[in-house]
A = this chain, B = another copy of it.
Amino acid sequence: MSRADLSRSACTLARAAEIVGDAWTQVILRELFLGARRFDDIQRATGASPHLLSQRLKRLEAEGVVARRAYSARPPRRDYRLTERGLDLWPVIVALKTWGDRWLGDGAPPPVSLTHIACGRPTAPRLTCSECGERLGARDCRADLSEAMLRERGAAR
């Protein structure tokens, strides 16, 4: 399989990775979650080149992760907003941040601190079980594969 073929995998993770599995895309998503909407603001905050940023935003728009919206008619200006599909990527970005803070921190305070608005406290979001509420880590779950997934893995060379 070439990289493009991940988009045709039976695996939804592979298909998701094919869309957002790119370091710059993840940094651009960070910026959108932090509230940036205009091209120039995203560019300044990320340090991405205009070409790179334009290319990544086009892909995210094509995949329905961001939508462009006119915010000025004269001169015509558009900005970028996360769609519901895009907002739902928050756990991916938070999981990356959490791992980075834990394993790649240089002793400095975390670059981004999160506060849970409803409870008012600084929070460290964690994965928990939808059924019992306990915290989940790699050793806590068993994975069962669907027929389609088993077929694909057997067939891949």
Contacts and interface: CB of A to CB of B under 8 A. Distances in A.
Interface of A: 1, 3, 5-6, 9-27, 30, 33-34, 44-48, 82, 85, 87-105, 108-119, 121-134, 136-146, 148-149, 153, 156-157
Instruction: Work out how many copies of this chain go into the complex.
Output: 2
Given A22-B22, A23-B3, A124-B130, A45 B156 contact: yes
Contacts of A117: 140-142
Contacts of A116: 129, 131-132, 134, 136, 140-141
A56 B132 CA distance: 36
A114 B21 CA distance: 22
Contact of A104 (B16, B143, B144, B148): B16
A122 B145 CA distance: 13
Nearest to A21: B23
Contacts of A12: 97, 100-101, 104-105, 110-111
Nearest to A13: B97
- Which 9 residue pairs spanning A and B have beta carbons closest together? A12-B100, A21-B23, A16-B100, A1-B47, A47-B156, A111-B149, A90-B138, A17-B23, A119-B132
B130 A125 contact: yes
A111 B21 contact: no
Given A23-B18, A91-B127, A100-B13, A148 B47 contact: no
Contacts of A126: 91, 127-128, 130
